[in-house]
Amino acid sequence: MDTIEKLKILSDDSRYDMACACGSTNEDRRKRGLDGKWLYPVALPNGGYSILLKTLLSNSCSNDCKYCPIRSDADILRCTLKPEETANLFMDYIQKKKVFGLFLSSGVINNPDYTMDRINAVSRLLRYKHRYKGYIHLKIIPGASDAAIEDSLSLASAVSLNIETPGKERFDLLSSKKNYINDIIRPIKLIGRLTSKGNRFSRVKSTTQFIVGASNETDFEIIRYMLGLYKKLNFQRVYFSAYQKGLGHYSIPGEQKTDSTAEQIFMREHRLYQVDYLIRKYGFSGGDIILDKSGNLELDKDPKEILADSHPEFYPVRINRADKRSLLRVPGLGPSTVDIILKKRLHGKITQLEDLGIKGKRFENAKKYLIIE
């Protein structure tokens, strides 16, 4: 195969890893380019979006992750890009102004450090041969040595390593070759330490991802681990990817026999993203997230609405008097709308909700929980 044929295959296989972008609007959803590569929009520091090329270096893999379509015994067409091929291809896209940056991952070729050496070689070629100073996101391969991880951090703008499940017991259902403590938790803790404020690689963004529903975990378990990743390890983003039964062509031991529809599976993923946003952007704590008796989020109701309905003593909120924290707990109001409210209050009282610029469902939700004196 030539380089472009390889890229089409490897870019397609990279779609199972969501750890660089998750879209909720048309602006930030991934798109497939005319040559078959996956393009991911990324937010720019000065506002707006640009395009990120995302691909695997290889879809050959020695691991047996049971949810993964490219696992070692999957019957798929395998191929590998050389570091020089990948760097030259990417620079061609850069020069033609087709992309803004690179997200590079890989199946495990031989062993973790051999794979990391090839991933880092691409970055080294870009940084030192091509003098590329732009955005590079590198996947850290589970089980990579501390030295390989530090090498990646010295070359990358961002790194990610998928935590996959909340805890060893859940993880052991998915792989017989990877060790949760050594291959996942050890490098995640190292990344968290090295990228935390005041440390050597504090400029590097760190992210991770859960495979939701693959190991019979509860939302309570995921949220508990997510809070630890943010508060103790200083990760910038946690992503969620709904496990689709059969995608890895394997029946996972202990897999729950449910009648969940595809809509319910993806709604669970959506609810977890809502919780993530409430924690990161709204200042919610773990205690603010209300779960059902089984430890899961309700699928038919927004977690913010559930909190509001569970505490009628705090509502309705007085729009002209309430502090920022109270306003952020109003369903239908987001951080930008709350900022508008606080700015408008500096110049006089707000007399009608229509002045805030919110419409549709958000407007109807806010009306139920606000009062205008």
pLDDT of 312 reads: 93
- Give the helix/strand (H/E) hosting 225: helix 219-231
Torsion angle of the four alpha carbons 246, 249, 255, 258, in this order, in degrees rounded to the nearest 10: 20
Strands of 140-289 (E only): list them. 158-160, 205-212, 237-242
Integer-rounded Cα Rg, in Å, for the chain is 22
Is 19:207 a contact under the CB 8 Å cutoff?
yes
pLDDT of 204 reads: 96
Task: Give the fold, CATH level 3, of 3-254.
Answer: TIM Barrel (3.20.20)
> Can you read off the two tokens belonging to residue 178?
């990877």
| Residue intervals in the chain for CATH 1.10.150 | 311-371
Name which residue leads in pLDDT, 322 or 32.
322
Is 159:204 a contact under the CB 8 Å cutoff?
yes
- Give the helix/strand (H/E) hosting 187: helix 186-195
Q: What is the mean pLDDT of the chain?
A: 86
DSSP 183: I
pLDDT of 24 reads: 42
pLDDT of 44 reads: 44
pLDDT of 20 reads: 43
Per-residue pLDDT of 76-85, as tens digits, reads 889 899 999 9
Pairing of strands 317-318, 370-371: parallel
Counting residues of the chain whose pLDDT is more than 70, the rounded percentage is 85
pLDDT of 320 reads: 94
CA distance 99 to 41: 9
pLDDT of 373 reads: 80
Least confident of 34-48, 67-81, 108-122: 34-48
DSSP, residue by residue, 287-326: GG----TTS---SSS-HHHHHHHH-GGG-SEETTT--HHH
**Would you say residue 212 has pLDDT above 80?**
yes
Task: Give the fold, CATH level 3, of 311-371.
Answer: DNA polymerase; domain 1 (1.10.150)
Per-residue pLDDT of 5-34, as tens digits, reads 888 888 777 766 654 444 444 444 555 555
Name which residue leads in pLDDT, 250 or 88.
88
| Residue intervals in the chain for CATH 3.20.20.70 | 3-254
Least confident of 67-81, 84-98, 295-309, 313-327: 67-81
User: Average pLDDT in the 83-111 region?
Assistant: 91
pLDDT of 242 reads: 83
CA neighbor of 157 nearest in space, from 57, 43, 3, 8 = 43
CA distance 264 to 36: 30
pLDDT of 3 reads: 84
Per-residue pLDDT of 154-174, as tens digits, reads 999 999 999 999 999 999 999
Per-residue pLDDT of 247-306, as tens digits, reads 554 455 555 445 567 678 889 999 999 999 999 999 999 999 999 999 999 999 999 999
pLDDT of 16 reads: 64
pLDDT of 259 reads: 53
**Would you say residue 101 has pLDDT above 60?**
yes
Is 156:136 a contact under the CB 8 Å cutoff?
yes
Torsion angle of the four alpha carbons 311, 313, 315, 319, in this order, in degrees rounded to the nearest 10: -130
Q: Tell me the whole-structure pTM to 2 decimals.
A: 0.85
Counting residues of the chain whose pLDDT is more than 90, the rounded percentage is 61
The gap from C-alpha 140 to its chain's centroid, in whole angstroms, comes to 14
pLDDT of 127 reads: 97
